[in-house]
Amino acid sequence: METDTALPSPYVKQFSVFLINRAGALLSVVRLLEDAHVLVLGLSLQDSVDVTVARLIVSDPETVETLFIERGIPFSTCDLLVVQLKEGAEALSRCLTAFLQAETNIHFSYPLLVNTNGLPALALHLEDIEFGAEVVTTQGFKILKQNDISR
C-alpha cells in the first residue's frame, strides 16, 4: 500500500486577478471571497489605464481557485516566500541585507494584512524562492507557510 508522503509547501500561494479598471471591481472580488468564507490576508494592486492586477494572498487557496474557475474570473498563481519579522519593522533592513549579500533579486513584495503572533510579515516574490528561503532561514528568520497564516 502506498501512502502520500508529500510535505506541505513551505510557500504561500498568491493569486493575480485581472480586473477591469472601474470603481467597485476589487470590492466585488473581496465580497465574493467573503461570501465563500475566505479572508484576504495580503493585497497589492498594480494599476494601469484599462486594467488592474490585484495580487491576493487568501486564507483558503483551494476554494478560491475553484471559485475563480467556476465564475470565469481570469487569474494566475505563483508561490511567495512569507518571512516573519520577529523584531518588528526594525528587522526589515536585516532581511533585505541578507538578500543583497546573497545577490538574490526581489521582484515584488508587500506586507500581510494580518499579524502572525502579533508580528509583521512580508510576502516576497524572489528570483529564486528556494535559495531565498535558505538565505533568510540561515539568518534566523521564520518562514511562514500557508497553514501558518490561514485561520
Kindly report, residue by residue over 94-132, the tens digit of the pLDDT.
999 999 999 999 999 999 987 767 788 999 999 999 999
Distance between CA 99 and CA 83 in Å, rounded?
Answer: 12
Tell me what percent of the residues of the chain surpass a pLDDT of 70. Answer: 93
pLDDT value at residue 3: 47
Kindly report, residue by residue over 28-78, the tens digit of the pLDDT.
999 999 999 999 999 999 877 788 899 999 999 999 999 999 999 999 999
Architecture per CATH, 80-149: 2-Layer Sandwich (3.30)
* Residue 86 backbone phi and psi in degrees, to 5: -65, -20
Whole-Å CA distances, 45 to 18, 24, 25, 125: 10, 14, 12, 15
If DSSP codes are grouped into helix, strand and coil, which group holds residue 26? helix
Residue 16, judged by CB atoms within 10 A of its CB (0-12, 13-18, 19+), counts as: middle
- Kindly report the CATH number that applies to the domain delimited by 12-78: 3.30.2130.10
Distance between CA 93 and CA 102 in Å, rounded?
Answer: 14
Residue 44's closest CA among 124, 104, 101, 117? 124
Kindly report, residue by residue over 74-101, the tens digit of the pLDDT.
999 999 999 999 877 788 989 999 999 9
Which sequence spans correspond to the domains of the chain? 12-78, 80-149
pTM of the entire predicted model = 0.86
pLDDT class for 151, splitting at 50, 70, 90? low
Residue 46's closest CA among 110, 112, 114? 110
pLDDT value at residue 44: 95
